[in-house]
Amino acid sequence: MTQDERQNFFKGMAFLSPWIVGFAVFTAIPIGLSLYYSFCDYSLTVERRAPLWIGLDNYRQLIHDTLFWKSLANTLYYAAMALPAGLLVSLGLALMLNANIRGQSVYRTIIFLPSLVPAIASAMVWLWMYNTQFGLFNYLLGKLHLPPVGWLGERMAMPSLALMSVWGVGNTVIIYLAGLQDVPRELLEAAEIDGAGPWRRMFSVTLPFLTPVIFFNLVMGIIGTFSVFTVPYIMTQGGPNNATYFFTYFNYDEAFKFLHMGYASAIAWIQLVITLALTAIAFWTAKKWVHYG
């Protein structure tokens, strides 16, 4: 390394240092500590109650914890509904918004608006829409002479939350719309000249070109569904009978309500491993259905 290169290197590091320090203090060290705490009994109180090393005890206890399995099953069940629903609805909306129609920008704004509403505010609104006696949905069912539904009851609560998640797909729609701009127009025109109809053009040209965007949204969706917290916290408090007790909610309770920081750290690491595993599966399957270029 010449003197100039060395000088440049140190200058570069000096400019980078605020980020490096921030990353180390607020991300890397806490992540490392949480891994250590996951092998400890630790309560985040006074200094003299230092973390007590207990090896794999927290992980062993997790295996026997019925709420761990319940919250994991709930989260997977939610992901199985919310993820495909979100991907399909946002893709459908993006395709519609991409069409050359009058008032396109107005529709785009309307679709995007719900994403700007804070999660707590939208949860409160949906809570009333799902209200058994006075809610909008049961009012509409009543107009159709159908019996009212307990939207947040034990059986319906999870599908209701999944349905609600579709409301905030504006961000995903925007990403799809950006992806749609990259579909080569000449290919679409060539397909049209060859006699391909709109559906054929969509399935044979548009969708294959969109697969990298779909894949990106899938991965982000996997991460997102495993971090769901605010909506069930506000709307159902995990009930009834733990029907909407999500993995992150379980983690929150253990950490901040029951003060089991060590146990909560173990839960967080399991959550990371599961998310990584699902993402890895997505990457593995991507070879077969994602087309770049």
Partner 1 sequence: MKIIRPLIFTILGIIVAVFLVLGSHQKNLVVRPGVTVVEYWEKWTGPEEAQMQVIVDDFNNTVGRDKGIYVHYMSMTDIDQKTLISIAAGVPPDVAGTWDTQIAQYAALGAVEPLDDLAAAHGINEDYYLPVYWRGCHYDGHLYALVSTPGVVALLYNKQLFAACAAQLRAAGLDPDTPPKTLKEFDRYAEVFDEKSPDGQLRRMGYLPMQSWYVPQLSFWFGGDIFDPVRRRLTLDSPATLHAYQWIQSYSKRLGGQSLLNFQNSLGNIFDSPQNPFLTGNLVMEQQGPWMANYIHHLKPSMSQVLCPTSEEWKLPDRRANYAWGVAPFPSAVPGLENVSYNPFDALMIPAGARHKKEAFEFIAYVNRQDVAEKLCTMHCKNCQLRHVSDAFLKHHPNPYIAVFQELAASPNAKCVPVCPIWPEVYKELIDTGQAVTLGEDPATAVRLAQQRMQERYNRFLTMERRRESLGIN
Residues lying near partner 1 in the complex (CB under 8 A) are found at: 41, 43-50, 52, 54, 61, 66, 127-128, 130-134, 142, 147-148, 150-154, 239-242, 253, 256-259
Tally DSSP H helices, then E strands, for the chain. Answer: 15, 2
Compute the distance between CA of residue 110 and CA of residue 254 in angstroms, rounded to an integer: 39
Q: Which is nearer to partner 1, 90 or 236 (CB)?
A: 236
CA atoms within 13 A on the CB side of 179: 26
- Give the count of beta carbons closer than 10 Å to the beta carbon of residue 104: 13
Task: State the nearest-atom distance from the C-beta of 257 to partner 1, in Å.
Answer: 5
* Burial degree of 183 (CB within 10 A; 0-12, 13-18, 19+): middle
Q: Which is nearer to partner 1, 257 or 288 (CB)?
A: 257
Task: State the nearest-atom distance from the C-beta of 181 to partner 1, in Å.
Answer: 31
Sequence-distant (≥ 6) Cβ neighbours of residue 155 within 8 angstroms: 243
Task: State the nearest-atom distance from the C-beta of 51 to partner 1, in Å.
Answer: 9
Compute the distance between CA of residue 200 and CA of residue 196 in angstroms, rounded to an integer: 6
Task: State the nearest-atom distance from the C-beta of 174 to partner 1, in Å.
Answer: 28
Whether 183 and 94 have beta carbons less than 8 Å apart is answered as no
Task: State the nearest-atom distance from the C-beta of 28 to partner 1, in Å.
Answer: 20
Q: Which is nearer to partner 1, 203 or 258 (CB)?
A: 258
